[in-house]
Amino acid sequence: MKTVGRILFLSLMIAPAAVGQRLGTDVLPNHYELRFNPDLEKATFAGHEQIDVDLKKSTSSITLHAADLTVSRATVLQGKTRHPATVTFKPRSETMTLHLKRPLRPGAATIGLDFKGTLNDSLRGLYLAKVGSRRYATTQFEPTDARRAFPSFDEPDMKATFDISVVTDRRTSVISNSRVQSDEPEKTSSKHVVTFERTPKMSTYLVAVAVGEFECSSGSMDGTPIRVCTTPGKKQLTSFALEAAESFLHYYNGYFSTPYPYGKLDLVGIPDFEAGAMENVGAIFYRESALLLDEPHASLRAREDVAETIAHEMAHMWFGDLVTTNWWNDLWLNEGFATWMSSKPVEAWKPEWKVELGDQESIEKAFNVDVLKSTRPIRARADTYDEINEMFDAITYDKGGAVIRMIENFVGPEAFRAGVNRYLTEHAYGNASAEDFWNTIEKVSGKPVSSIMKSFVDQPGVPLLSAVPRCQDQTGSLELTQRRFFANPTLLAQPSDQQWTLPVCLRSGAAAGTGPCVVMSSRQQKLPIACDEVPFLNMNGGGYYVTEYPAPVVQRLAARISTLTPEERMTLVRDEWMLVQAGRAHVGEFLDLAASFRQEHEPAVFDEVAGKLAFIANNLVAGPDRDAFRARIRALFAPLAGELGWQAKPEEGDRTRALRASVIATLADTGRDPETLTRARSTLRAFVANPSSGDPTLAESLFGVAPIGAGPDLFDFYVQGLRQARSPDERDNFLYALIRFTDPALLQRALDFAISAEVPTQDSANLIARAFRNADSREVAWQWLESHWDAVRRKTSTESGTNLVAGTGSLCSSETAGDVKRFFAAHPVAASTAALARAEERIRTCVALREAQAPSLRAWLTKDQMTTR
Ligand code: BES
Ligand code: ZN
């Protein structure tokens, strides 16, 4: 068994040659009848299927997708004639061809196949997931792995209906896309046959089956039954997800003019799962930590993440599932839309969380890739397995989401919603292109949406909008200039003729409310403003661009910081940081701006500032400067920390608790405050001993900082803790903090642990990738990786492999840039070409930034403390 898994696995990790895998369009499927017979003990499965197809032409061969399957019987039935077929496979293009002696006529035919496969351990196709002694057969098909479970026309626009049934032991249950139609004992065995109702027309990548012992809690909304299912023993962790799903279904039924189209909705926690979650029609699958929670003992972040993941996947039921993009090059429309949409129902459910501020973090994730030369346009060619998998990046999700949000701001939420609904109605149960989407929004809103969209979707990069206010003869004006922004000063200095059709909305003066929006469609534009005005050029952070102001204007904005919305404050900090990277501002100026946030009470804004300070501590300061910097941080935030204290007050809201957690973590980590670190450890131990005694939001931060400078005692305490964890989320808190130990010997232990049998494949490489983030661990982690590669690779799935390569982008040293490149050239990781190029560019950008900003940083560190107070 093990050897089979290993061989299979190696074939996944070695990047396959770039072979196009598209099928022709002469044979199209209408309906699949599928029966699976998994053997969980032997880790194999048998399948039988009948596919009703339409032949456009006469043909004596039919090609469809199949990978790692064997076929024992193949026939094609046409009219009353059953044609036996011989089968050939092309593994490199993941196809198989049925060859017939006599040609088939154009028209209807039915393919009949018996096949067999392995329940693999690489988390894709129909795979084996284990927890304790329990075994599960479960699916993950997006983007192109349905073909590993059944021969199929595995392309998103080859939609068909499905009749699915599964034969399995009587004590095992089965979950699939639709409601159970019948569940009958098999007469000759100890098995039962579970048959599901016919699905509506849908894409193969959205088919799902989960076989094994599950426990479910049930609810409903607007007539749709909803269940949250998990492996036995965790049912008490399902109530939060169930309540969220009910609330969101109602929200979406109100937002969309089409009510939920799939009859029932299951949310299933799978014990080993590569992605966070997957939007299978009517049966959304999750990694356990993205679904299950012990609500009273879960941090705000954990609750928000679970809620947003559920909201994201449920948005796909309409956008992605009901209407699917024609091909993977437009994946951004599915994922960008779901990313954009996910904060809405959560905002309606828990307004006090202000999850909409997370949209700014999403923009920043996109910027971090899109300011590089190695970025790509949102829409890009993607034909091979690797190319398609590489599409699941921050450009698809975060830039896609940001651009959709920008359009919604520009046309207004009601016009946008009307356009969305018209698009969904026109293409329901079918496919569409991005043009279909934006042309509909343009038609409904009457605004120039398509030219804006085209300029953002087909061009790479972030626009830089430079704004210079002028005043002449009492007449004020604002001169705007746009060009492409790069984080690298040399690239930014080169002439660029790239420009966008850019909606710019400005908030003028101190007054809240809407300022004018203009569409900038040339390189330069002048706007009339009052002479004494200090306009903010990205109202509510709704636009996808970096704004550059002259230094005195930044100072005046900093002086009226409290008149900006939280989104605008985040935007200002982010943009100023971008300009530091690009050499257009000094880090000293940035730090002065950061200092004006020392009394910031909005946790998302505080985190925005704190994140940059942590980056500086990790990458830009060294030796005695680092200590001086840490001392500055302590002095800066001590008053806020003092005000908040360690103890949550009963009447306090979640966001105040989140602020306390962030401030304490900043003092402990970036400030390395000894007192805070000591107290962090004792508070955390007390919390673990009795979770009801403390604040889970604070505890979550403490998990990450308590290991700093700690010894083997605490390490053992963490390993014990994760073994006994009461929820997947608590387990993650222990697990992912293991790489925060700063003692190199403990770090080694943490890394060895990451590839041990105790850590499931879903977490191994992700855990290692985290160790690259911190200055204390990254060198050790990189050397360890080089010497443990074979073992690491055995526990790496496609997505986590890409994450691992991407993670090396935090290794801010010039020698390592070369090492990383050489190492992954010799040890290629699937779907990571772009991730590697970006990692290398990030390392070099970071090194150049450190050199360029050293004088400014030193000057700031040595200048009189009082001026930063
Ligand atoms: N469709 C994706 C799942 C997916 C990701 C499949 C990558 C294949 C490859 C799903 O809708 C998704 O986006 N999941 C996110 C979570 C979400 C909250 C951003 C994920 O898995 O990270
Ligand atoms: Zn998604």
- The pLDDT value recorded for residue 8 is 38
For atom 18 of ligand 1, the residue with the nearest CA is 309
What is the average per-residue pLDDT within 332-349? Answer: 98
- The pLDDT value recorded for residue 863 is 87
Q: Is 279 in the pocket of ligand 1 (CB under 6 A)?
A: yes
Would you say 846 and 772 are in contact if contact means Cβ atoms under 8 Å apart?
no
Q: Is 243 exposed, middle or buried (0-12, 13-18, 19+ CB in 10 A)?
A: middle
Q: Is 277 in the pocket of ligand 1 (CB under 6 A)?
A: yes
Give the β-pairing of 59-65 and 69-78. Answer: unpaired
Q: Closest ligand 1 atom to the C-alpha of 279? A: 11
Q: How far is the CA of 362 from the centre of ligand 2 (A)?
A: 14
- The pLDDT value recorded for residue 529 is 87
What is the C-alpha to C-alpha distance for residues 574 and 794, in angstroms, rounded to an integer? 38
Handedness of CA 332, 349, 570, 527 (dihedral sign): positive
Q: Is 317 in the pocket of ligand 1 (CB under 6 A)?
A: no
In the block, residue with structure tokens 């770039």:
18
The predicted-structure confidence for 260-284, as pLDDT tens digits, reads as follows 999 999 999 999 999 999 999 999 9
- The pLDDT value recorded for residue 10 is 38
Evaluate if residue 587 carries a pLDDT over 70: yes
Give the C-alpha distances (Å, rounded to integers) separating 389 from 326, 364, 365, 674, 832: 16, 22, 18, 44, 9
Quick one: how far is CA 498 from the chain centroid? 29
- The pLDDT value recorded for residue 765 is 96
User: pLDDT band at 16, cuts 50/70/90?
Assistant: very low
| Alpha helix positions (H), 232-287 | 239-255
Q: Is 146 in the pocket of ligand 1 (CB under 6 A)?
A: no
Q: Is 127 in the pocket of ligand 1 (CB under 6 A)?
A: no
User: pLDDT band at 20, cuts 50/70/90?
Assistant: low
Closest CA to 263 of 229, 231, 227, 228: 227
What is the distance between the terminal CA atoms of the chain, rounded to a whole angstrom?
65
Two tokens, residue 714: 């605490």
The predicted-structure confidence for 694-732, as pLDDT tens digits, reads as follows 999 999 999 999 999 999 999 999 999 999 999 999 999
Backbone angles phi, psi at 837, to 5 degrees: -60, -40
- The pLDDT value recorded for residue 517 is 83
Q: Is 740 in the pocket of ligand 1 (CB under 6 A)?
A: no
Evaluate if residue 5 carries a pLDDT over 50: no
For atom 6 of ligand 1, the residue with the nearest CA is 142
Q: Closest ligand 1 atom to the C-alpha of 342? A: 18
b/e 123-157 (16+ beta carbons within 10 angstroms → b): bbbbbbbebeeebbbbbbbbbbbbbbbbbbbbbbe
Mutate to test the pocket of ligand 1, among 267, 303, 305, 313 (most ligand atoms within 8 A of CB): 313
Would you say 266 and 282 are in contact if contact means Cβ atoms under 8 Å apart?
yes
Residue tagged active-site, from 313, 356, 589, 841: 313
Q: Closest ligand 1 atom to the C-alpha of 313? A: 11
What is the C-alpha to C-alpha distance for residues 183 and 179, in angstroms, rounded to an integer? 11
Handedness of CA 402, 407, 412, 417 (dihedral sign): negative
In single-letter form, the type of residue at position 752 comes to D
Q: Closest ligand 1 atom to the C-alpha of 339? A: 19
Q: Is 276 in the pocket of ligand 1 (CB under 6 A)?
A: yes
For atom 17 of ligand 1, the residue with the nearest CA is 309
- Using a CB cutoff of 5 Å, list residues around ligand 2, an ion: 335, 338
Mutate to test the pocket of ligand 1, among 248, 312, 387, 762 (most ligand atoms within 8 A of CB): 312
The predicted-structure confidence for 767-823, as pLDDT tens digits, reads as follows 999 999 999 999 999 999 999 999 999 999 999 999 999 999 999 998 899 999 999
Strand order through the sheet with 265-270: 215-221, 224-230, 265-270, 283-287, 277-278
SS3 164: strand
Q: Across the chain, what does the average pLDDT equal? A: 94
For atom 2 of ligand 1, the residue with the nearest CA is 278
Q: How many CB atoms lie within 10 A of CB 720?
A: 12
Tell me the percentage of the chain whose pLDDT exceeds 90. Answer: 91
Q: How far is the CA of 510 from the centre of ligand 2 (A)?
A: 38
The predicted-structure confidence for 735-758, as pLDDT tens digits, reads as follows 999 999 999 999 999 999 999 999
- The pLDDT value recorded for residue 593 is 95
What is the C-alpha to C-alpha distance for residues 452 and 521, in angstroms, rounded to an integer? 9
Q: Which secondary-structure segment (H or E) carries 169? A: strand 161-169
SS3 832: coil
- The pLDDT value recorded for residue 3 is 35
Closest CA to 348 of 306, 311, 298: 311
Would you say 809 and 839 are in contact if contact means Cβ atoms under 8 Å apart?
yes
What is the C-alpha to C-alpha distance for residues 131 and 73, in angstroms, rounded to an integer? 35
Q: Is 278 in the pocket of ligand 1 (CB under 6 A)?
A: yes
Least reliable range by pLDDT among 689-693, 732-736, 833-837? 689-693
In the Cβ-directed half-sphere of 456, how many Cα atoms lie within 13 Å? 32
Closest CA to 516 of 532, 539, 500, 534: 539
For the CA of 391, the nearest ligand: 1
Q: Is 520 in the pocket of ligand 1 (CB under 6 A)?
A: no
Closest CA to 681 of 705, 655, 654: 705
Q: How far is the CA of 279 from the centre of ligand 2 (A)?
A: 7
SS3 695: coil
What is the C-alpha to C-alpha distance for residues 488 and 544, in angstroms, rounded to an integer? 19
For the CA of 290, the nearest ligand: 1
Q: Is 284 in the pocket of ligand 1 (CB under 6 A)?
A: no
- The pLDDT value recorded for residue 507 is 81
Tell me the percentage of the chain whose pLDDT exceeds 70. Answer: 96
Give the C-alpha distances (Å, rounded to integers) separating 690 from 93, 297, 810: 55, 10, 36
To the query of whether residue 643 is one of the catalytic residues in this protein, the response is: no
Evaluate if residue 569 carries a pLDDT over 80: yes
Give the C-alpha distances (Å, rounded to integers) separating 862 from 597, 856, 867: 20, 10, 11
- The pLDDT value recorded for residue 623 is 86
For the CA of 277, the nearest ligand: 1
Two tokens, residue 466: 């430079």
Partner residues linked to 37 by β-bridges: 46
Would you say 386 and 830 are in contact if contact means Cβ atoms under 8 Å apart?
yes
CA angle 699, 570, 630 (to 5 degrees): 55
Would you say 770 and 807 are in contact if contact means Cβ atoms under 8 Å apart?
yes
What is the C-alpha to C-alpha distance for residues 462 and 803, in angstroms, rounded to an integer? 23
Closest CA to 631 of 615, 606, 613: 613
Specify the pTM.
Answer: 0.96
- The pLDDT value recorded for residue 207 is 99
Q: How far is the CA of 416 from the centre of ligand 1 (A)?
A: 24
Q: Is 275 in the pocket of ligand 1 (CB under 6 A)?
A: yes
Q: Is 313 in the pocket of ligand 1 (CB under 6 A)?
A: yes
Q: How far is the CA of 684 from the centre of ligand 1 (A)?
A: 32
Evaluate if residue 514 carries a pLDDT over 80: no
Q: How many CB atoms lie within 10 A of CB 510?
A: 12
For the CA of 123, the nearest ligand: 1
Q: Is 309 in the pocket of ligand 1 (CB under 6 A)?
A: yes
What is the C-alpha to C-alpha distance for residues 143 and 316, in angstroms, rounded to an integer? 14
Q: Is 392 in the pocket of ligand 1 (CB under 6 A)?
A: yes
Mutate to test the pocket of ligand 1, among 204, 278, 324 (most ligand atoms within 8 A of CB): 278
Q: How far is the CA of 525 from the centre of ligand 2 (A)?
A: 38
Q: How far is the CA of 201 from the centre of ligand 2 (A)?
A: 20
For atom 22 of ligand 1, the residue with the nearest CA is 276
Mutate to test the pocket of ligand 1, among 139, 142, 386 (most ligand atoms within 8 A of CB): 142
Q: How many CB atoms lie within 10 A of CB 677?
A: 20
Q: Is 196 in the pocket of ligand 1 (CB under 6 A)?
A: no
For atom 3 of ligand 1, the residue with the nearest CA is 278
The predicted-structure confidence for 409-449, as pLDDT tens digits, reads as follows 999 999 999 999 999 999 999 999 999 999 999 999 999 99
- The pLDDT value recorded for residue 865 is 59
For atom 20 of ligand 1, the residue with the nearest CA is 276
Two tokens, residue 288: 């356990």
For atom 5 of ligand 1, the residue with the nearest CA is 275
b/e 57-70 (16+ beta carbons within 10 angstroms → b): eebeebbbbbbbbe
- The pLDDT value recorded for residue 515 is 62
Segments of 473-578 assigned E as strands: 475-485, 502-505, 517-520, 524-529, 546-548
Q: How many CB atoms lie within 10 A of CB 183?
A: 14
Q: Closest ligand 1 atom to the C-alpha of 276? A: 21
Closest CA to 249 of 351, 302, 317: 317
What is the C-alpha to C-alpha distance for residues 345 and 400, in angstroms, rounded to an integer? 19
For atom 14 of ligand 1, the residue with the nearest CA is 277
> For 436, left (φ over 0), alpha (ψ -120 to 50), or beta?
alpha
Q: How far is the CA of 313 from the centre of ligand 1 (A)?
A: 8
Would you say 309 and 291 are in contact if contact means Cβ atoms under 8 Å apart?
yes
Q: Closest ligand 1 atom to the C-alpha of 335? A: 13
What is the average per-residue pLDDT within 470-492? Answer: 94
Q: Is 344 in the pocket of ligand 1 (CB under 6 A)?
A: no
Q: Is 316 in the pocket of ligand 1 (CB under 6 A)?
A: yes
Q: Is 274 in the pocket of ligand 1 (CB under 6 A)?
A: no
